[in-house]
Amino acid sequence: MEGELELDDALVLDDVSDEAALKAAHAEGTAVVVRADSAEAVKAALARPEVASVLVSDPELLKLDLTELTYG
């Protein structure tokens, strides 16, 4: 949930569209955290190997079955 993690040195992005920033942060060893407001956005963020975690503000998104979401 948004506000529950300490993100001091992490790169926090609103989505995964900035591929250059994702790759640069990953290469530097910087944790990448992405905000998501839908199941599709969670799936897109977690599909990126550079992303360490996804932040959500809707508690319902914590209930997602990630295996089902990914593999159907």
pLDDT at residue 4 in the model? 87
Question: Does the global pTM surpass 0.75?
Answer: yes
| Alpha-helix runs per DSSP H in 1-72 | 19-28, 39-46, 66-71
Q: Is the dihedral of CA 37, 25, 29, 5 positive or negative?
A: negative
What tens digit of pLDDT does each residue of 50-66 get? Answer: 999 999 999 999 999 99
Do 2 and 28 contact (CB within 8 A), yes or no?
no
User: Which tokens belong to 54?
Assistant: 């996804």
User: What are the angstrom distances between the C-alpha of 5 and each of 2, 11, 31, 66?
Assistant: 7, 13, 12, 20
